[in-house]
């Protein structure tokens, strides 16, 4: 039986690579001039990754212990530069790699965002993708003059309108609107550019957009929320869903089927919605991988990180007890639900956070390259697709990058399950054809 073929993405952030490892300090130069990421993007493209993904957030966090210390000391949320500024830089140094940037529907004005991504799509020759996040940090809301984040469901209601509006703006220039007809003294045919007059509960815009239509028309749309409301939002709008591998194959299958059912309910062909599994892989020849050991400093970084993720100060809980059932997360609600479920099954908060931070290894993604590759192939055969988004606990660690680019992907290519050439010129084309 032929194996299920699948796509590959790579998750990172425009922030410090694994700075604790000496060997990583000089790779590609300092990270903030962007050259580190140019090197990375070229390496990914040389192995035909569908895309590089840049996450983002907009705050120096003080959720953990009501202090910025944890964030700044461990370089968790900050420093972090703007991903949308980096992507054109990467576009200029690559030719086929998809370039996905994160931008928040809670903080961007829709018109500005639509314009930025239209421009990126043109600059990159149709390789732009937008990770549509609603954001989850009170600290970020305060930076934008808000008193706090809207409640989780309202964030998605606002996001729904935001994306409807943005799509209307991207569609406000008909194909062929730019005619450049010197004889008629007409650069753009005015009859083909229309206002959108969008009036919603949260957003309004007259339109039209003032950018020239971009190669893809609009960026590839991705989203990562897994709550009920988040899934509906994705099923309605997204081309890509970024999902966690959670408790293994059965949950992955259930999520994929659920997303397909939701897409159908919104009148879409489920094949248009690709599920990318965020997979923490660790290629190692050690017979008994030691991945579960953390130093105190590393565990403090994990606590500070997850406090911000949940928008909830985890320092007030006993780490050696299950998370209290009344703990209330304002962000990443689906992961808090998971943590509480594990708590009811007897897992302590420390154990639960360790699994969340590393990703559970239900799929067998820790081991030598042959083992990991064959476990991935088996998992994708069971689940049915559609892609893996590779990441490590140490974002940007050189040892990790070379282990996937030089070992894992060639092995998967050898097995015939991932591409060995790009099938299209735009990101959307590549996602539609393996
Ligand atoms: C793989 C992955 C990547 C994510 N990237 C970001 C990001 O860059 N910025 C952000 O604010 N949230 C990010 N999130 C969070 C989601 O967008 C979403 O807010 C979160 O999962 C909570 O939504 P839910 O309550 O619907 O699950 C990411 C989540 C996952 C699983």
How far CA 386 is from CA of 62, 241, 380, 390, in Å, comes to 37, 10, 8, 13
For 178-200, what is the mean pLDDT? 97
Question: What pLDDT is recorded for position 293?
Answer: 67
pLDDT of 421 over the 80 cut: yes
Closest CA relative to residue 133, chosen from 38, 197, 253, 53 = 53
Instruction: Quickly list H helices, 346-426.
Output: 349-358, 369-383, 398-402, 409-414
Residue 17: what pLDDT? 82
Which ligand 1 atom is the nearest neighbour of the CA of 278?
1
Are 180 and 82 a contacting pair, CB within 8 Å?
A: no
Q: Give residue 223 CA to ligand 1 midpoint distance, Å.
A: 7
Residue 387: closest CA among 222, 216, 240? 240
Ligand 1 pocket, Cβ-based, cut-off 6 angstroms: 55-57, 102, 131, 133-136, 152, 224-227, 230, 242, 244, 278, 332-334
In the reported structure, the alpha carbon of residue 29 is separated from the centroid of ligand 1 by a whole-number distance in angstroms of 29
Digit-coded pLDDT (tens) for 276-289 = 999 988 898 875 54
Least Cα distance to 6 among 383, 363, 362 occurs for 383
Distance of CA 118 from the midpoint of ligand 1 (Å)? 23
pLDDT digits (tens, 9 = 90+) for 130-160: 999 999 899 999 999 999 999 989 999 999 9
End-to-end CA distance of the chain: 18
Residue 182 has pLDDT above 70, yes or no: yes
Task: Name the residue of 222, 280, 332 to mutate for ligand 1: max ligand atoms within 8 A of Cβ.
Answer: 332
Domain ranges of the chain: 7-171+205-291+362-432, 293-360
Q: Which CATH class is domain 7-171+205-291+362-432?
A: alpha beta
Task: Indicate the average pLDDT of the chain.
Answer: 92
Indicate the range of 101-115, 175-189, 192-206, 237-251 predicted with least confidence.
Answer: 237-251
CA 391 – ligand 1 centroid, Å: 14
The protein residue with its alpha carbon nearest to ligand 1, atom 4, reads: 224
Minimum-distance ligand 1 atom for the alpha carbon of 244: 31
Distance 131 CA to ligand 1 centre (A): 9
Kind of pairing, strands 7-13 and 51-55?
parallel
Quickly state the pLDDT bin for 1 (edges 50, 70, 90): confident
Closest CA to 331 of 75, 109, 61: 61
Whole-Å CA distances, 85 to 80, 130, 244: 12, 13, 27
* pLDDT at residue 289 in the model: 46
């Amino acid at each position: 039986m032929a194996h299920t073929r699948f796509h590959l993405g790579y998750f990172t952030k425009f922030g410090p690579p694994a700075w604790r490892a000496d060997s990583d300090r000089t790779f590609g130069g300092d990270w903030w001039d962007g050259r580190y990421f140019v090197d990375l993007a070229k390496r990914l493209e040389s192995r035909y990754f569908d895309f590089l993904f840049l996450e983002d957030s907009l705050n120096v966090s003080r959720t953990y212990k009501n202090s910025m210390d944890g964030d700044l000391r461990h370089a968790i949320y900050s420093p972090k530069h703007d991903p949308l500024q980096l992507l054109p830089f990467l576009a200029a140094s690559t030719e086929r790699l998809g370039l996905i940037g994160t931008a928040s529907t809670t903080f961007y004005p829709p018109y500005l965002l639509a314009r930025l991504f239209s421009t990126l799509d043109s600059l990159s020759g149709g390789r732009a993708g937008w990770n549509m996040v609603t954001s989850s940090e009170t600290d970020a809301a305060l930076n934008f003059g808000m008193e706090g984040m809207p409640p989780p469901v309202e964030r998605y209601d606002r996001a729904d309108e935001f994306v409807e509006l943005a799509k209307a703006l991207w569609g406000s220039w008909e194909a062929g609107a730019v005619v450049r007809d010197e004889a008629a003294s007409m650069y753009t045919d005015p009859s083909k550019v229309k206002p959108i007059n969008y009036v919603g509960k949260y957003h309004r815009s007259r339109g039209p957009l003032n950018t020239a239509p971009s190669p893809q028309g609009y960026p590839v749309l991705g989203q990562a929320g897994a709550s009920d409301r988040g899934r509906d939002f994705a099923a309605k709008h997204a081309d890509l869903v970024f999902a966690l591998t959670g408790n293994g194959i059965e949950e992955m299958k259930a999520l994929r089927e659920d997303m397909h059912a939701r897409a159908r309910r919104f009148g879409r062909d489920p094949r248009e919605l690709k599920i990318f599994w965020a997979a923490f892989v660790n290629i190692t020849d050690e017979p008994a991988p030691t991945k579960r050991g953390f130093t105190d400093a590393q565990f403090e970084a994990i606590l500070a990180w997850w406090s911000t993720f949940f928008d909830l100060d985890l320092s007030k809980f006993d780490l050696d007890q299950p998370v209290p059932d009344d703990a209330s997360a304002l962000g990443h609600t689906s992961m808090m639900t998971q943590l509480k479920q594990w708590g009811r099954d007897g897992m302590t908060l420390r154990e639960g956070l360790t699994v969340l931070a590393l990703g559970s290894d239900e799929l067998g993604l820790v081991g030598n390259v042959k083992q990991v590759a064959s476990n991935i192939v088996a998992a994708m055969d069971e689940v049915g697709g559609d892609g893996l988004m590779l990441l490590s606990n140490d974002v940007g660690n050189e040892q990790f990058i070379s282990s996937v680019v030089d070992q894992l992907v060639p092995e998967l290519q050898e097995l015939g399950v991932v591409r060995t050439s790009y099938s299209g010129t735009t990101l959307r084309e590549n996602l539609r054809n393996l």
